[in-house]
Each structure stands twice: as C-alpha cells, then as structure tokens.
C-alpha cells in the first residue's frame, strides 16, 4: 500500500533481472528517496531461455532469444507482451505517477512514455527516471523516436559504464524535449549517495507539489 502524499513509481528492471533482484539492487535508492517515493517492482514477462536463474528481459533482439544493446537488429521478440504486461501493472495498482527504468528497462520505459503520448498506452506518465538507458537498435522500435517525447525525464549515467557507454545514454536523453541529468563517476548502476540527493529532490519537487495540490 502506498503512503499518503508520496509519489508512486513503477520500477522496470534491467535485462537478466527480476523484481526481487531489482529491489535488492536499488535498496540504497529506496532509502535515499523514502520520504518521496513508494516504489513498486514487477518482473518482465520474458524469461531468458539460457538462464537457470530467475532472469528476465523486456524483449530479445536476436533469433536465439538473447539480447545485445550494441547491435543493430530487426527483431524485438517479447516487446508487445511487455507493453501489455506493464499496462496490466498500471491497471492492477491503480496507475502510477512515474516510472523508473534501468538499462534495458530504461529503454522500455522510454517506449511506454512515447506510446502514452500517441494513445498507445492508456495511462498518463507524469515523469520518467532513466538510468543507463539507450536508444534501441531494433528496427521495429525506431517509431518511438520519430518525434521528441514531452514527458519530463531524469537521465542518469556513469562515466565509467562499460555495459552501456554514456554516449548511448546521451543519445537517449536527446529523444526528449526537456530533461535533467545526473552524471556519476561510476559504472553500470543507479547512484544513491548524499551527493546525488539534491539532484533527485530538485527533479521530484515539482511533482510533489502537484501531488499536494491534487490532494487539497
């Protein structure tokens, strides 16, 4: 149950993760933003066939049902299933104020934002927090980038990220009309130290004020 006055945010995990591992990896972020956000975690509907663990993805870019963010592809197996899955999560939980995505999940969140502005997703997205995201190299996804996305977004990436180079995250942020940025010195993770606290708060404050006004 979400706390009164907080923003409710859907977390869209990275490739080879699930709700449980995503929650564990974002523990520091939950603690940092506990005054502002109630996070809700879901697991992607596409289990990775080669994995013996609980590892899932939002789509596969290769015929062998695997994924590579760096390679061009004409494949997006599982993507529409994931759109439907996220739609159902919004229905089940009574909608969300925003979405937070990590890596492949950040790209999936971007697609949801684009769909919501073209009536392809039945819920409004007030904001998106996108960490280590990238512009998909899958040909079927290029429609999501055909025009600038108006949803306010916060883009987070590391100077030392070797999984998703920061240039790819910059390419994604430029798909949005307005955006804020947090750049950290580390690699492929969501930073959540006191150093980033003010940047998170500055981004979230307008939506907190809007939330308070709506409750009056």
- Let me know if 64 is a catalytic residue: no
Task: List Cβ neighbours of 210 (8 Å cut-off, separation of 6 or more).
Answer: 126
How far apart CA 165 and CA 163 sit, in angstroms, is 6
Whether the CB-CB separation of 157 and 171 falls below 8 Å is answered with: no
Task: List Cβ neighbours of 145 (8 Å cut-off, separation of 6 or more).
Answer: 114, 135, 175
Q: Name the active-site residue from 38, 76, 97, 161.
A: 161
Q: Name the active-site residue from 61, 103, 153, 169.
A: 103
- Let me know if 74 is a catalytic residue: no
The DSSP 8-state label assigned to residue 69 in this structure reads T
CA–chain centroid gap for 79, Å, is 14
Question: For the chain, how many helices (H) and strands (E)?
Answer: 6, 8
CA angle 184, 132, 168 (to 5 degrees): 100
3-state secondary structure of 110: helix
- Let me know if 161 is a catalytic residue: yes
How far apart CA 76 and CA 142 sit, in angstroms, is 11
Catalytically active residues are: 103, 161, 188
């Amino acid at each position: 149950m979400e706390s009164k006055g907080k923003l409710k945010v859907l977390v869209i995990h990275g490739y080879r993760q699930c709700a449980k591992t995503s929650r564990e990896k974002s523990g520091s972020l939950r603690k940092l933003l506990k005054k502002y956000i109630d996070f809700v975690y879901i697991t992607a509907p596409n289990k990775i066939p080669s994995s013996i663990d609980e590892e899932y993805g939002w789509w596969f870019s290769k015929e062998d049902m695997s994924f590579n963010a760096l390679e061009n592809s004409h494949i997006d197996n599982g993507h529409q299933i994931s759109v439907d899955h996220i739609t159902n999560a919004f229905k089940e939980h009574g909608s969300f104020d925003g979405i937070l995505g990590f890596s492949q999940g950040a790209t999936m969140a971007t697609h949801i934002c684009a769909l919501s502005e073209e009536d392809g997703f039945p819920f409004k997205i007030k904001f998106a927090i996108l960490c280590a995201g990238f512009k998909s190299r899958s040909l079927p996804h290029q429609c999501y980038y055909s025009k600038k996305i108006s949803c306010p977004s916060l883009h987070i990436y590391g100077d030392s990220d070797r999984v998703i180079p920061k240039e790819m995250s910059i390419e994604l942020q430029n798909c949005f009309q307005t955006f804020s940025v947090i750049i950290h010195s580390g690699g492929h993770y969501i930073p959540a130290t006191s150093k980033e606290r003010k940047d998170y708060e500055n981004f979230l404050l307008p939506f907190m004020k809007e939330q308070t006004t709506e409750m009056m």
